[in-house]
Structures are given as structure tokens and as C-alpha cells.
Amino acid sequence: MDRRAFLQHASVPLGAAALDRWLPAGADAASPAPTPGPAVQATRRSSVVVVGGGAFGAWTALHLREQGHSVTLVDAYGPGNSRATSGDETRQLRIGYGDRELYARFAQRAMAAWRQREAEFGVPLLVQTGRLELAPDWTPGMRATAAMLPTLGATVEAMGHDDLRRRYPQLNPEGIGVGLLEPDACVVRAKQAIVTVAKTFVRKGGTLSVARVQPGRATGRRLDELVAGDGSRLSADAYVFACGPWLPRVFPELLGKRIAVPGRDVYYFGLPAGDDRLAHPNFPNFSESAYYGFPSVDGRGVKVCPTTGPASFDPDTDERIVSPHQVRRARAYLAMRFPSIKDQPITETRVCQLENTPDEHFIIDRHPDWDNVLIAGGGSGHAFKHGPVMGEYVARRALGEATDPAFDAMVRLAK
Ligand SMILES: Cc1cc2nc3c(=O)[nH]c(=O)nc-3n(C[C@H](O)[C@H](O)[C@H](O)COP(=O)(O)OP(=O)(O)OC[C@H]3O[C@@H](n4cnc5c(N)ncnc54)[C@H](O)[C@@H]3O)c2cc1C
């Protein structure tokens, strides 16, 4: 069955207008006028199917399309869906990465790319909140961040206990000796960003389709086709599998032991009436060993995420209901650190999952059996921010073009 037949048969091909239903009405009503983005190059060179429309897949599909390739993006539940790791409301963009310089450099390029894309899309995606890392004393990671950011031309500010008390009276600094502020860090409206990337991909001539697919027939070292749930097939020159937490399911032998999928709760605690001391722009993103979170953005309340949760989570079937035990722990933390919201109710919750590799490096590499298949994932809790730059990188890898050898080695499948 050819590509057109697949799209008619196996799936719901979506136009950009159809994607509007993934966002609340008027979500981008206050949008600034878009600026021109990269034009689609005129010559079509290869056909590529990208499986998975999350942070890795949606951006990869857009980059490939902008290079003039014939691209189909296939997602089982649609880009930015609420089961996807990228389908949560918000994610953080920061440059500070401890001593992991390659990621810091990628994140810095990504930060600039997000700004350009935000202008191109005409959709307000970024909120510059800053990020405050807190610890009893300097950790090796904080020292490395404080040393590295100035070398990259990025701003960082160190504070002691008394500085924190003076500057942030809404924070109880008990037990905190050091605060490291990265003022340029942002919150990105994640779900909205992914839907916008997918819409732009379609507007630029890409094909988007809702179907669950898996690898089908292969000839020698080439995969010939993908097979959808109803048996219909889709062929292309190259395939990118960017299936996030589903990667171990798509390639159980290869990735079953390399990618773990633990669950994570996300809570939004309401602010007291008339009190915006913990809302943007009055307080930054915050992070300490057991919790991190964001100030209230878009009126959602203070976002709080524990860094622990169930060791294993099924992204298809597990209920997205938070754990009462974790809620009690989070409330105790808030009562201590942010006393003004200790009695406030939870206003929203999310349950998400990670796709963790043992060394927390992404996995971006050829499938060992098929030369025309690239795997891209293993986000390990930090991939979203890299989307616009990572998409370009994955697109180049999928087409066998040159990339940074040091980064290639870091994200290899077998180490
Ligand atoms: C609680 C939490 C907080 C985080 N905070 C941050 C942060 O602040 N900053 C940051 O940079 N990162 C953060 N991350 C990490 C980041 O969200 C992820 O690394 C990133 O979103 C992963 O994207 P992905 O494309 O790999 O996966 P996903 O977003 O899950 O996308 C995979 C897609 O593949 C589709 N799919 C799967 N299997 C198939 C199939 N067989 N056929 C068709 N489609 C399929 C799914 O429907 C899904 O849409 C956080 C993660 C969590 C859980």
C-alpha cells in the first residue's frame, strides 16, 4: 500500500486547522504577528517517516520538511497528547548544566532558537522566570554551573542565606546556605509549543497522521515499511523512531533494559486570594534536591514536582491520578519552604513519565540492524528545552549528514 493509501486507510490525516482542537479556544488569541521563518527548500530529496510527535519527533519533522524532504509525522495519539512526556503544560529552559558542557552549549543555542521560533510562530511560548537553585552548601554541580555560565556569556548570580532572606521574603531559607540564580531561564508552554510545531510542519507541506505503527518487513540492512494497527503499510527512504517512553515497547530487545519509564506527579498549588508573591514575575523557578517547581504562570498556581515516584509507569494504560502519599510529602515541603501557601488547595495535577537512560544521556543512533532507521529519545528529564536544536541534529543524523562527533559519541546507543 502506498503512502496515500496508508493515510486514507490507516489513520486520520490532520490539517493545521484540525490541530486547533488540541488547544483551548483562544489559546493563541493574544499572539504577536508572526515573522517569516525558514522557507521550505524547493527540491525534494528523500522521503522520511518520523514516528512520534513529541519534542524529538515534531521538531525533527519540521526541520526535515524545511529542507524540502517529503515527510510524514505519525503519532499514535496526536502531537502534544496528554500521555506524551512532551504533552505536559510547561517545561523549563535553562543553560546551567553543571559540568556537562555539550548540553549547556546545546541549551544555549536552543534558547536563541526558541526565541526565533516564537517570533516566527507568532505564539507566546516563553515566560522568562529565571531559575533559583537552592542547597545547604555549594554542590559540585552548582560550582560547575557558576564557573561555566560566564564562559558561555550567560549570566549567573550566587547568593548566601542572608541575601536569599532579604531578596525573597516569600521563601523560608531555613537550611539553605547557597542560592544560584540563572536569570535568563524560562518556562515554555510545552503542550502549546508541540502543537504549534506540528501545525507549522503541516502548513509547510508536511503530512501528519494519527496512527500507531511499528517496524514491518525488512530487506537486508534496510527497513522497507511500517505497519499500522489495522495492517496498512507505509514506506519511505528513512525512518526516525522518536517514541519517547514507548521506545522500549517498540524495540523491546534493544531498548527494554536501556530505557526505564518511571512515573512522576506534578501538582499546582493555588495562591491565597489577593497574594501574588509566588506568581511570575515575583518569584523564579526553584529547585532543590527532592523538589523543583515554577512560580504561578498563567494563573495555574505554584507548580511543584517531587523528584521521586513509581519506578515503572505504563504510558498507555496507567491512570493519570496523583499519589496521596506524594501529595502529603509535597504539602509538608511547601509548608516549610513557602509558608504562605501551606493551607492552599491543589488546583491542578498532572501525572507524567520519564524515559531515563542509565547515564542520563539521550540515545540518538542508528538501529544496529537497519541503516535507514534512526532512534531518537531517552530524554531523561531534560530533553524538551533542546527541541529546536535537537530536531535539526536528529534530521541531519537521519540523512547521514555530518554532525558534532563529540555529541554523536555521547548519545551513542552502545557505550
Ligand atoms: C515531570 C517532568 C518534568 C520535566 N521537566 C523538563 C524540563 O523542565 N525541561 C526539559 O528540557 N525537559 C523536561 N522533562 C523531559 C522532557 O519533557 C522529555 O525529555 C521530552 O518531552 C521527551 O520527548 P519525546 O519526544 O522523547 O517523547 P514524547 O513527548 O513522549 O513523544 C513521543 C510520542 O510518540 C508517540 N508514539 C509512541 N509510540 C508510537 C508508535 N508506535 N506509533 C506512533 N506514535 C507513537 C506518542 O504518542 C508520543 O506523542 C521533564 C519530564 C518530566 C516527566
DSSP secondary structure, 213-231, as one string:
EEE--EETTEE--EEETTS
- Specify the residue for cell string 502543537: 195
pLDDT band at 128 (very low <50, low <70, confident <90, very high): very high
Residues with CB under 6 A from ligand 1: 51-57, 74-77, 81, 84-86, 91-92, 212-214, 242-246, 250, 264, 266, 305, 352-354, 377, 379, 381-385
Final residue of a structural domain among 165, 183, 201: 183
Residue of 50, 60, 85 to test ligand 1 pocket, by largest number of atoms within 8 Å of CB: 85
Work out the pLDDT band at 8, boundaries 50, 70, 90.
low
Q: Using the predicted structure, report yes or no on whether residue 74 has a pLDDT greater than 90.
A: yes
Cα of 356 from ligand 1 centre, angstroms: 11
Q: Are 25 and 147 found together in one domain?
A: no
pLDDT value for 37: 80
pLDDT class of 35 with cuts at 50, 70, 90: confident
Read off the pLDDT of residues 197-244 as tens digits, 9 standing for 90 and up. 999 999 999 999 999 999 999 999 999 999 999 999 999 999 999 999
Residue nearest to atom 33 of ligand 1 (CA): 52
Q: By the 8 A CB rule, do 57 and 240 touch?
A: yes
d(CA 200, CA 7): 19
pLDDT of residue 105: 97
Share of the chain above pLDDT 70, in %: 91
Alpha carbon of 172 to those of 102, 134, 295, 333, 339: distances in Å?
A: 35, 11, 15, 11, 7
Q: Inform me whether the pLDDT recorded for 257 exceeds 90.
A: yes
Q: 287 and 220, same structural domain?
A: no
Q: What pLDDT does residue 34 have?
A: 73
CATH number where 337 lies: 3.30.9.10
State the pLDDT at residue 27.
46
43-52, 57-66, 162-171: lowest mean pLDDT where? 43-52
Q: What is the pLDDT of residue 26?
A: 41
CA–CA distance from 353 to each of 214, 225, 318, 379, 404 (Å)? Answer: 21, 29, 10, 11, 29
Query: What's the whole-number mean pLDDT along residues 123-133?
Result: 98
Instruction: Note whether 331 and 371 are same-domain residues.
Output: no
Which pLDDT score is estimated for 2?
A: 55
Residues 226, 198 within the same domain: yes
**Residue 200: DSSP 8-state:** H
Question: What whole-number distance in Å separates Cα of residue 286 and Cα of residue 130?
Answer: 9
- pLDDT band of residue 45 (cuts 50, 70, 90) is confident
* 24 has a pLDDT exceeding 60: no
In-domain check, residue 120: no
Residue-averaged pLDDT of the chain: 93
pLDDT score at 216: 98
Residue 332 has pLDDT above 70, yes or no: yes
Phi, psi of 210 (to 5 degrees): -100, 105
Q: What is the mean pLDDT of residues 132-145?
A: 98
Residue 43 scores a pLDDT above 80: no
Check whether residue 253 and residue 365 sit in a common domain: yes
Query: In angstroms, rounded to a whole number, what is the distance separating the alpha carbons of residues 364 and 73?
Result: 18
pLDDT at 4: 53
Task: Tell me whether residue 271 is in a domain.
Answer: yes
- Give the chain's domain count: 3
Nearest residue by C-alpha to atom 3 in ligand 1: 381
Does residue 269 contact residue 78 with C-beta atoms inside 8 Å?
no
Give the pLDDT of residue 355: 98
Q: What is the CATH number of the domain that holds 252?
A: 3.50.50.60
**Which residues constitute the domain of residue 55?**
3-87+190-259+360-410
**Claim to verify: residue 255 and residue 367 sit in the same structural domain:** yes
Domain boundary among 158, 183, 208: 183
Spacing, Cα 364 to ligand 1 middle (Å): 14
Specify whether 195 is located in the same domain as 253: yes
Regarding whether 285 and 173 lie in a shared domain, the answer is no
Is 233 domain-assigned? yes
**What single string gives the DSSP state of each residue in 91-157?**
EEE----TT-HHHHHHHHHHHHHHHHHHHHHTS--EEE--EEEEESS--HHHHHHHHHHHHTT---E
Confidence of residue 91 (pLDDT cuts 50, 70, 90): very high
Q: Examine the pLDDT at 5 and tell me if it is beyond 70.
A: no
DSSP 23: S
Preceding omega of 310 cis (within 30 degrees of 0): no
Our mutation pick for probing the ligand 1 site, out of 19, 91, 292, counting the most ligand atoms within 8 A of Cβ, is 91
